């Protein structure tokens, strides 16, 4: 990575980040946005690999996709790098024309070769988010033929079926669809890796900011992209400080050492409500809090146990106390705001009902199980509350805390018993969550596709067929009805205890304006943030 020199770093970090060795400042620099956030989930900066909340937001402010949408009306899809597109008569091939005059931060011009390379590269690398593209029939063997350059500024993307028209466009707005600088990336290729080892910690985009520095569990520094094709950001740089504790974030926000606090708990939000120097802003997200029950566990695989656990969460109390103002009770896999979202919440804490179900499963005295938890204050607090209500029915749950990388790596290898986590949609089509919660085309350990149903070893051939049918339905009303029916069945039988939909809450200094809270984390934007005098 192109790191800041030691001399500049010492001076810059002292003034802008406030290291412990220097006195803290009462105000952040006027051209610098400083946010406090728990950023230990960052694994990579490569768009072909990024699949976590923090890195998705970073990339959303530093890369560009072919197409985008209005965050206030996601049905309004428009070109970003693409100037226009057409769909073939059979519905299987999209032709994109690239906007003229665009360039990457490196100064290299953007041509059709770059999005073609970016999509081919993501499929061939086959990292976690590759399924967003491979679901269209693309694979390492055919992608060079299916995604092809047809001219300096034109390209085609061919699919195996005529999917619902907006599905592909929404998928291209996901981070895996972000366009990378082919010339720059390939100049760092080693042993045929398409520049992967280099891009994990470096930058090759065209967005409003460049990624200057990432130090794991410490800081991420972005700088204004002087070659950006849109309006230049008023901020010369944007910094994320890794500060896990909401209480510490609150103190730094009150003192003026940061501009935005991202992990405030209910207690901190209440405490800041009367502070004239702070404003609280929120926005509904597509993110879902859930528990995944691994079906490789002989107890968790029993239908009665799965249902019992849905009666052993005190949804209302957690939403009203631990997560007050930050979630709403929601028990279906499609978030509110998506086509076909189901808003019925049939489960509430009912220990006696749970005991009956456990007895029916030949487990009248309960059993012992583990739950992996990311060690954020809120996930930990939720897990502890669930641990207590599970114990009321005889289920002894041991909590295994870890940072974001540890828990995700274990979960993705399906080596857990129970995982409590947060899932954000990858794009704004309902298939994004149906594809991961209700679809598992291959339950083998070596499966190519590894959605959440696979991670929890849930073999569902019939439900997979239902999800496959819904994605091909072109009539919006009929398609919505199919997703509602799918969710109703899923609520009853799945190994997912879906609990809440997230409301993102930010504590912001009163002089900071223009931060956009989008439905997905890669929609969160600080490109037009300003600071008033």
Q: What is the mean pLDDT of the chain?
A: 93
Strands 82-87 and 73-79: unpaired
Lowest-confidence pick of 44-48, 315-319, 469-473: 469-473
First to last CA, the chain: 35
Number of Cβ atoms within 10 Å of the Cβ of 291: 21
Confidence of residue 66 (pLDDT cuts 50, 70, 90): very high
pLDDT per residue as tens digits for the range 70-80: 999 988 999 99
Q: What is the largest CA-CA distance in the chain?
A: 69
- Per-residue DSSP letters for 310-327? HTS--HHHIIIIITTTTE
Please state, in angstroms and rounded to a whole number, the distance separating the CA atoms of residues 228 and 356: 62
Query: Residue 266 has what pLDDT?
Result: 87
Confidence of residue 25 (pLDDT cuts 50, 70, 90): very low
The count of C-alpha atoms lying within 13 angstroms of the C-alpha of 226, restricted to the half-sphere facing its C-beta, is: 2
Q: Which residues contact 452 (CB under 8 A, 6 or more apart)?
A: 292, 423, 436, 437, 496
If you average pLDDT over residues 210-229, what whole number do you get? 97
| Token duo for residue 93 | 């091939």
Q: Which domains does the chain have, with CATH numbers?
A: 25-63+207-277+510-533 (3.40.190.10), 68-182 (3.90.76.10), 285-503 (3.10.105.10)
If you average pLDDT over residues 459-483, what whole number do you get? 94
> Phi/psi at 157 (nearest 5 deg)?
-125, 115
| Residue 395 predicted with pLDDT over 90 | yes
430: helix, strand or coil: coil
Number of Cβ atoms within 10 Å of the Cβ of 231: 9
| Residue 6 predicted with pLDDT over 70 | no
Cβ burial 463-493 (10 Å sphere, 16+ → b, else e): bbebbbebbebeeeeebbebbbebbeebbee
pLDDT per residue as tens digits for the range 282-298: 999 999 999 999 999 99
Please state, in angstroms and rounded to a whole number, the distance separating the CA atoms of residues 445 and 414: 9
| Residue 464 predicted with pLDDT over 80 | yes
Please state, in angstroms and rounded to a whole number, the distance separating the CA atoms of residues 519 and 336: 10
Alpha-carbon distance values, 357 to 312, 394, 395, 493 (Å): 11, 12, 12, 13
- Report whether 473 contacts 249 (CB < 8 A): no
pTM value > 0.95: no
Percentage of the chain surpassing pLDDT 70? 95
Confidence of residue 26 (pLDDT cuts 50, 70, 90): low
């Amino acid at each position: 990575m192109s790191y800041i020199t030691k001399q500049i770093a010492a001076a810059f970090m002292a003034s802008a980040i406030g290291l412990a060795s220097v006195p803290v400042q009462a105000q952040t620099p006027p051209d610098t946005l400083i946010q406090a956030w728990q950023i230990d989930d960052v694994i990579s900066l490569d768009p072909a690999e990024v699949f976590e909340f923090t890195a998705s937001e970073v990339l959303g402010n530093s890369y560009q996709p072919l197409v985008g949408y209005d965050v206030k009306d996601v049905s309004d899809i428009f070109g970003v790098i693409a100037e226009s597109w057409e769909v073939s008569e059979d519905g299987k091939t999209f032709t994109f024309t690239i906007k003229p005059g665009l360039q990457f931060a490196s100064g290299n011009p953007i041509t059709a070769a770059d999005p073609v390379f970016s999509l081919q590269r993501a499929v061939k690398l086959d990292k976690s988010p590759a399924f967003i593209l491979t679901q269209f029939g693309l694979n390492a063997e055919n992608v060079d033929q299916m995604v092809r350059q047809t001219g300096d500024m034109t390209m085609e993307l061919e699919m195996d079926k005529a999917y619902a028209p907006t599905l592909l466009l929404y998928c291209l707005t996901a981070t895996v669809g972000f366009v990378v600088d082919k010339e720059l990336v390939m100049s760092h290729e080693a042993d045929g890796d398409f520049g992967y080892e280099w891009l994990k910690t470096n930058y090759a985009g065209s967005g409003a900011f460049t990624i200057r520095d990432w130090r794991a569990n410490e800081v991420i520094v972005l700088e204004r992209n002087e070659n950006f094709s849109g309006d230049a950001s008023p901020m010369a740089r944007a910094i994320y400080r890794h500060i896990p504790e909401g209480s510490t974030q609150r103190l730094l926000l009150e003192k003026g050492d940061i501009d935005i606090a991202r992990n405030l708990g209910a207690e901190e939000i209440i405490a800041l409500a009367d502070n004239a120097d702070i404003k609280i802003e929120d926005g509904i997200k597509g993110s879902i809090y859930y528990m995944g029950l691994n079906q490789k566990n002989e107890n968790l695989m029993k239908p009665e146990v799965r249902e019992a656990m849905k009666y052993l969460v005190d949804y209302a109390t957690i939403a009203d106390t631990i997560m007050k103002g930050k979630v709403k009770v929601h028990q279906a896999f499609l978030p509110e705001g998506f086509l076909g979202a189901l808003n019925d919440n049939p489960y509430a804490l009912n220990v006696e009902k749970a005991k009956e179900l456990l007895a029916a499963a030949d487990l009248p005295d309960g059993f012992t199980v583990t739950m992996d938890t990311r060690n954020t204050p809120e996930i930990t607090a939720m897990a502890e509350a669930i641990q207590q209500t599970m114990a009321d029915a005889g289920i002894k749950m041991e909590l295994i805390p870890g940072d974001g990388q540890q828990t995700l790596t274990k979960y993705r290898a399906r080596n857990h018993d129970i995982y409590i986590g947060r899932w954000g949609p990858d794009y704004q089509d309902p298939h994004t969550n149906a594809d991961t919660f209700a679809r598992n085309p291959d339950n083998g350990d070596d499966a190519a596709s590894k959605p959440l149903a696979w991670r929890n070893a849930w073999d569902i051939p019939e439900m997979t067929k239902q999800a496959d049918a819904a994605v091909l339905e072109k009539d919006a009303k009929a398609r919505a009805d199919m997703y509602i029916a799918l969710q109703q069945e899923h609520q009853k039988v799945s190994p997912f205890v879906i609990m809440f939909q997230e409301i993102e809450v930010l504590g912001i200094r009163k002089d900071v304006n223009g931060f956009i809270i989008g439905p997905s984390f890669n929609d969160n934007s600080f490109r037009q943030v300003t600071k008033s005098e």
